[in-house]
Structure 1
Amino acid sequence: MLLDTRTLARTAGAAVLAAALTACGSSAMSGMDHGSGGAPSATTATAADGHQGHQMPGSGATGRPAASAPAPAPAPAPAAEQNGYRLDPATAALAPGAPAEYRFTITGPDGKALTAFGTDQTKRMHFYAIRSDLTGFQHLHPEMAPDGTWTAPLAALTAGTWRVYASFVPDSGPGRGTGLVLSRTVDVPGEGAAAEAALPAATGSATVDGYTVTVEGAPAAGRAGELKVTVSRDGRPVTDLQPYLETYAHLTAFHAGDQAFAHLHPETKAEAGGTGGPTLPFHAELPTGGDWRLFLQFQTGGTLHTVGLTLRVG
């Protein structure tokens, strides 16, 4: 089994923080869903913003101010192992420029490959891949073999360092019913591996396939809040959004720099056979400030659309 020593070196405190981001369980009975392709484009990232400690008032007879408090550590990307569950890949590297299959197992606390998974938003496994600069987002629902081996069919990846995320809910063992997100890095060697695109500036709207997506709301770090997503086309509200994963849109976020992960949950479910839009409320709880890259997926006319935009969290 190949281990990602960087993720295994995370502290226990970081693991707890990562657990807070595991709202999205998983599933993968069948089928897959691709986001945008692997080429560096408008979906990118830079180093996370630093956080400055606050000067505390002095105490005692001296009246001298206390030293500045240390800056809080940013929430890291989820670890490869948590609560006894581990993401074990078949390889630590993939070839660039062509579709690739990423195979992995989830090993349980008993040391055996887990084969019992609960469903979350209709799937047993939600699998994500994103480059270190937050380009090339992909969201898949891989297939599991009887022995517990999952196969995620990735679209072509550009050279560079990628991170994959497995989001699932164990349906047996001590972690039964608790959503987890595990992740590892994947090396894609080749020309341009070190090149990174700049993170697009924070903005309240973005376009994809002729649709304009607007995001309203100002979530504060570590506090629950609401984001309102509105979809329009040619200046008109879109009301024919089709159900996708039990709702009318799926929203995930990645923190610039450390690639922390968050799944922002929709506050309304889709009605069978119904349509939705133009406004969709999401429950947002992002643990740290700075820039987050949001990826919204919605479906119209049987086509899945993926749009990315940058959100600044104070």
Structure 2
Amino acid sequence: MPGMGDMASGDGLAAEASGLRFAPAATSLPAKRASVFRFQIRAADGMPVTSFQPDQTKLMHLYLIRSDLTGFQHVHPTMASDGTWTANLAGTPAGSYRVYTSFITPVGGMNTPLVLSQPVTVPGTAATVPLPPAATSTTVDGYTLTVSGDKLMAGMTHMLTVTVSKDGKPVTDLQPYLDTYAHLTAFRAGDQAFAHLHPQGSVNGDHGGPALSFEATLPKSGNWRLFLQFQTAGTLHTAAMTITVG
């Protein structure tokens, strides 16, 4: 799959890496209404970068998550000729957030996958939502997702299997989304460290499921919130689940 051999190192919490910097046009978002978020990826000389390589069919992935790991958004910005990216974000409640940019760009003559992030604020009174306890299954839109695999240890690579069912029956009609049958990201409680869990296997039309395999390397111990996105009948679903990493 495109980009599947490229995995960004680190925890995604830096604004600068490999001589590149994530430069947002603003560090705040309006409360509870849709907004446009603009930014550039700049080189060490301050000039915007305009050369990017596709990663899972997109040149740029942008994520937004609140400090309590709610309000997850995953969108795909568009770039203007001057290197300014524009992302359309849904309205979100007040609170402290972090926005992540995930991309692949030539650095020193070779393609380098990077995740850079910056904090942003949505003004107003924020009500913190407690992190749900760790679990091995969750439900969304009538679908049940169950995670199995070895106990996760920080800094080690493990294989996770996610099984999708509905009304007690295996789901076998998952549609391709970003050239895979499911997209899985994770954020750590406390510091909002980021990880992208890479899917395994190939796509064969609208016949995905019920078992989906992922290569998981989570850089730190603690509680992580998983967000798994999958598509059926043209509808994108987002399931969330808490796991513990030793």
Residue identity matched to 1:148: G
Deviation at 1:148, TM superposition (A): 0.6
Contact kept in structure 1, 2:11 and 2:195, CA below 8 Å:
no
Count matched residues.
240
Pairing of 1:22-171 with structure 2 (within 5 A) = 23=7, 77-171=12-106
For residues 126 and 160 of structure 1, the distance between their equivalents in structure 2, rounded to whole angstroms, comes to 22
Residue identity matched to 2:188: H
Match of 1:201 in 2: 133
Higher strand share: 2
Q: Which runs of 5+ in 1 are unaligned?
A: 1-21, 26-74
TM-score by length of 2: 0.94
Residue identity matched to 1:91: A
**CA offsets, 1:163-194, max 9 Å, x none?**
000000113x426411000000001101x22x
Structure 1 segments of 4+ aligned residues over 3 angstroms from their partners: none
Pairing of 1:12-31 with structure 2 (within 5 A) = 23=7
Deviation at 1:253, TM superposition (A): 0.3
Pairing of 1:248-267 with structure 2 (within 5 A) = 248-267=181-200
For residues 111 and 84 of structure 1, the distance between their equivalents in structure 2, rounded to whole angstroms, comes to 10
Matched position secondary structure for 2:201? coil
**CA offsets, 1:129-162, max 9 Å, x none?**
0001000100000111111100110000110111
Deviation at 1:24, TM superposition (A): 5.7
For residues 229 and 276 of structure 1, the distance between their equivalents in structure 2, rounded to whole angstroms, comes to 12
RMSD: 1.6
Q: Which runs of 5+ in 2 are unaligned?
A: 1-5
Higher helix share: 1
Matched position secondary structure for 1:139? strand
1:215 aligned to which of 132, 147, 152: 147
Deviation at 1:109, TM superposition (A): 2.9
Higher relative contact order (CA 8 A, sep 6+): 1
For residues 77 and 267 of structure 1, the distance between their equivalents in structure 2, rounded to whole angstroms, comes to 22
Match of 1:246 in 2: 179
For residues 154 and 76 of structure 2, the distance between their equivalents in structure 1, rounded to whole angstroms, comes to 30
Bigger Rg, which one: 1
Deviation at 1:95, TM superposition (A): 1.0
Deviation at 1:205, TM superposition (A): 0.5
**CA offsets, 1:217-273, max 9 Å, x none?**
2221111111000000000000000011111000000011000000000011213x3
Match of 1:184 in 2: 118
For residues 169 and 155 of structure 1, the distance between their equivalents in structure 2, rounded to whole angstroms, comes to 25
Matched position secondary structure for 1:242? coil
**Distance change >3 Å, CA 295–CA 175, structure 1 → 2:** farther
